[in-house]
Amino acid sequence: MRPALPALLVGATCIALSPIFVRIADVGPTASAFWRVALAAPLLWPLVLATPRGQAARPSAGLLIAAGLAFAGDLAFWHWSIRFTSVANSTLLANLASLFVTLAMWLFWRQRPSALFLLGLAAALGGVSMLVRASLAYSPTALLGDGLGVVTAVFYAGYLLTVKDLRDRGMRTLQLMAITTTVTALVLLPVALASGEALLPQSALGWIKLLGLAWISHCAGQGLIAYSLAHLPAAFSSVSLLFQPVIAAAFGWLLLGEPLLPLQMLGALVVLAGIYLARRASS
């Protein structure tokens, strides 16, 4: 358990750096989402091929495509959200995905949520209203960014549901990451080309920023969290992923000079409390 907990915290910190890389990238939001996965795939596939296969389950092509499409929507909408609103708000709202997962289980699989989940949902929605009010004082475009953050959470929830199904079928984490990363890159490339955004960075420093997004935030961050959650009690997953938006907000404040308004901080605490209660209820 000891190596797993530091891995969890380092992984969450790596992912929390992703909105910073997106904000300082020399390319457009959709383009940075494409390079995030396109540059990560060549690092993941050699690891998959070098790992002993054992008796791995045969993957479902339909579910893998669905996971790639959902992750493409997640990244594209989140990267645009980061451009329009604060790092703190975009990251917090994207983490509402866990609430949408439980709501989907209720609507489509008739798994009735508990009273604790409903309390967490109410708290999270109350916190979101505070974040939106704070956004109106932040910038004219922040409200649009907040809305895109909520859309991000919906796509991320779809990704989590398909990944859970694939994992339940016995698919290995590293193989799953490599395939969905590749599918996501194939989906995002034509979207980035059609968007008219700057696709290629103009300097070596620009490529370094994109490599940081791909290798640090995507590969290292996702990989460390996947490893740690496989070796830690389930209760840790409720607390661990709440660490990410807190660190992202701190990075936004320290590295980008984004102000943390009192109402925004209060709303963030309420959202985190709501997500925590909802995760406890669903575990």
> For residue range 178-189, what is the model confidence (pLDDT) as tens digits?
999 999 999 999
* Residue ranges covered by each domain of the chain: 4-48+57-282
* In 169-258, alpha helices (H): 173-195, 204-211, 222-229, 235-256
137-153 CB burial, b ≥16 within 10 A, e <16: ebeeebbbbbbbbbbbb
User: Which tokens go with 279?
Assistant: 């995760």
| Continuous segment of H or E residues that includes residue 96 | none
How far is 82 from 80, CA to CA, in rounded Å?
Answer: 5
Tokens 């054992």 map to which residue? 54
pLDDT for 239: 58
Estimate the share of the chain in helix, then strand, then coil, as percent rounded to the nearest 5: 80, 0, 20
Closest CA to 74 of 9, 160, 182, 1: 160
Q: Confirm if 72 and 184 have CB atoms less than 8 A apart.
A: yes
How many residues are recorded in the chain?
283
Residue by residue, pLDDT tens for the chain (283 residues) are 567 778 878 888 999 899 999 999 999 999 999 999 999 999 999 988 887 766 555 678 889 999 999 999 999 999 999 999 888 889 888 888 878 877 777 777 677 777 887 888 788 888 888 887 777 776 778 889 999 999 999 998 898 888 888 877 888 888 888 999 999 999 999 999 999 898 999 999 999 999 999 999 999 988 887 777 667 665 555 556 677 888 888 898 899 888 888 888 888 888 888 878 876 766 5
CA-only gyration radius of the chain, Å: 18
User: Which tokens go with 265?
Assistant: 């901080």
